[in-house]
Amino acid sequence: MRWKKVNKLIIGTRGSALALKQAYQVRNLLQSVHSHLRVEIKTIQSLGDDQQETPLPEIGAKGLFTAEIESELLSQKIDLAVHSLKDLPSTLPNGLKYVGSPKREDARDVFISHKWRSLSDVPAKSIIATGSARRKAQFLEARSDLEFRNLRGNIETRLNKLKTEGWDGIIMAAAALHRLNMSDQITRYMDPLQFVPAVGQGAIGLELKLGREEVEKLVASIIDPETTQCCQAERLFLARLEGGCSTAIGCWGRIENRRFIITGYAASSSGSKVIRKYLKGMPADSTQLAQQLSEEFEHAGAKSLLAE
């Protein structure tokens, strides 16, 4: 089959500094391989961006940060959607697919504080802010004596609120701060075996409309196979347990010493009931291992735990 040569590509993305940084990273990667390619970046406002003061569980919709972008992808107003992969639901609308990711950034969460050097230093009744049910549950598991506040908004807004509200700390993704050259804001990196990352955290997700083979061929040149394999396994785990951004669920896949390791996490919102397991095997068996791990979580009562 002869492929139609694509000379121009329109990337759709949210308009935050982080989203734009990721979109320009994808553009630069594409143009480094395809020197003839002109790439336009189109910013699209999402429902999640419109309701930044509302806690995510209260909004309750799937695709809070992706649905409007996906609509333009389906209507071919854009050719490629660039997301933070952790924002992309594990089950996509008909006609769309996750095609992969460039090389993953750091998947870990970080603790940021202007008062304390580590979680163990934080006094009882201190106030920690996060918009994530998973992060809140994991912190409460370690420190049930802490108090929490909701935290939404872009990276700059969150860091500013830490100062203006006088909170004792906030929790964020390491990758976001790395990409925005704000690593100096990080107080402590959290152990990913204890503070299991969100599915896809640290990875950029590339989404296409089915049937756009000529675009997919272009995009294939910038996809990192290891990152994509690990993220696909994580997304399978999430889909099987029917988890989302409003539940305390995490999964982290990686390849170490030629072995694929996948760690799963599920908890009640209070962090008082927790399931944390991992499996290890050959990289070629990553899909089966993710499926096996999700079955073990189901048998351990993860779905009822997440519903609490």
Angle between helices 286-299 and 225-241 (to 10 degrees): 20
Does 121 qualify as catalytic in the annotation? no
Query: In a 3-state reduction of DSSP, which class is residue 234?
Result: helix
Residues facing 206 on adjacent strands: 82, 100
b or e along 226-254 (b: 16 or more beta carbons within 10 Å of the residue's beta carbon)? bbbbbbbbbbbbbebbebbbbbbbbbbbb
N residues, the chain: 308
Q: What is the DSSP letter of 116?
A: -
Residues facing 265 on adjacent strands: 250, 276
Calpha distance 204→99 (Å, rounded)? 11
What is the layout of strands, in order, in the sheet containing 249-256? 249-256, 259-267, 274-281
**Contact (Cβ atoms closer than 8 angstroms) between residue 252 and residue 196:** yes
Burial of 277 (0-12, 13-18, 19+ CB in 10 A): middle
Catalytic choice (79, 87, 109, 168): 87
Distances (CA, A) of 31 to 63, 101, 103, 218: 29, 16, 16, 10
Rounded to 5 degrees, φ, ψ at 3 are -90, 140
- The residues assigned a catalytic role are 87
